[in-house]
Amino acid sequence: NTVTEKLFQSPSKYIQGPAAIKNAPKYLGQLGNTALLIADDNVYKIAGTALTQSLESAGLKVAYVRFNGEASADEIARVRDVGTQNKVDYVIALGGGKTIDTAKAVADKLNVPSAVLPTTASTDAPCSALSVIYTPHGEFDSYSFFNKNPTVVLVDTSIVAKAPARFLSAGIGDALATHVEAREVRTATNFGGGLPTLLAGAISAKCEEILFKYGKLAYEHNKVGAITPALEAVVEANTLLSGLGFESGGLAAAHAIHDGLTALEPTHKMMHGEKVNFGTVCQLILSNSSAEEMDKYMELMVSVDLPITLKQLGVTDVTPEELRHVAELACSGNETIWNLPYVINIDLVYNAIVGADAAGHDFLRRKGIK
């Protein structure tokens, strides 16, 4: 590594709170007069119509395009064409991780700012200057990197609190990987091409602290739609702290193994953070974590219904050859696993996956969970 500069990047503005979407014109109006709004049908009914009315009542124009469900190159090209036709000044992402990844890629291709309005706290996608691109069939394709982070990230916790609690749980799974990975890769370059700052390390550590303090509590509050200080804290950890922590701190094996797992058809029904969560168990194995430390993490994971075995990921019938293929994909040339400062190869990763599955089953057996 010949890089000597440290680098930290982030959105220009982050806003979070109950009914925050009502103030959307105040924050989005600064980006221009005409917006391209990307949302799927369900999200548009839940929040899109109200957002559109709010912006239009402030004299702003909105061109709505329906998101078709996959953050693929074809979908990005289709949505970009709608933006070009409408001569938009900026792009609004309203929805979950794949909607957000698509919108950020479209904004980059149109060379306009993006505003991200997540309706769940299920991933750390909102704040970053990158998108995860998938094939039209849902398999991991590549990372796409952009010159700018979103200009505005606005999180309305009254909308997030209405989403099924599984979304928050998946976000905890994604966010729990942040510090586990970042602490291992402090000498590797981050997504901005620089070394991690002390701030990035402090943010990832704070993210993990909040999840252990309030994760289970927030999950239970989300189940009943209660907007509480605990829920607000975990939404911020999942969205802002994890987003800043992973992008400027760096990723490692947990996310690389997630990418490999997408090759197994049954995992397509699982959420991003659920697959990452199993990857975190694998990362802990590769990092030679003690039994006590493994139990500490799995205790939190199980308390918010995150998967810690392949069976819980829906993978009930898998061959050693298929798992070796997952390990091969996790060790692809451009994968984040190569940020790790120790020896990595396909055999080591394959054995970490098998070992993580065994550790997960053992934990469930000891806790009397079937």
Answer yes or no: are the C-beta atoms of 250 and 336 closer than 8 Å. yes
Q: Which amino acid is at 72?
A: S
Rounded Cα distance between 260 and 243, Å, is 21
Q: Which of 124, 174, 259, 357 is catalytic?
A: 174
Q: Which of 108, 255, 259, 357 is catalytic?
A: 255
* Residue 156 among the catalytic residues: no
Rounded Cα distance between 293 and 296, Å, is 5
* Residue 272 among the catalytic residues: yes
- To the nearest 10°, the Cα dihedral for 183, 189, 192, 198? 40
Q: Which of 156, 258, 259, 357 is catalytic?
A: 258
Answer yes or no: are the C-beta atoms of 44 and 12 closer than 8 Å. no
Q: Which of 179, 221, 259, 272 is catalytic?
A: 272
Rounded Cα distance between 349 and 305, Å, is 25
Rounded Cα distance between 9 and 128, Å, is 8
Residue listed under structure tokens 């440290």 = 6
Largest separation between any pair of C-alpha atoms in the chain: 61
Given the DSSP bridges, would you call strands 130-134 and 140-145 parallel, antiparallel or unpaired? antiparallel
Would you give the end-to-end CA distance of the chain in angstroms?
46
Give the residue numbers marked as catalytic.
Answer: 174, 255, 258, 272
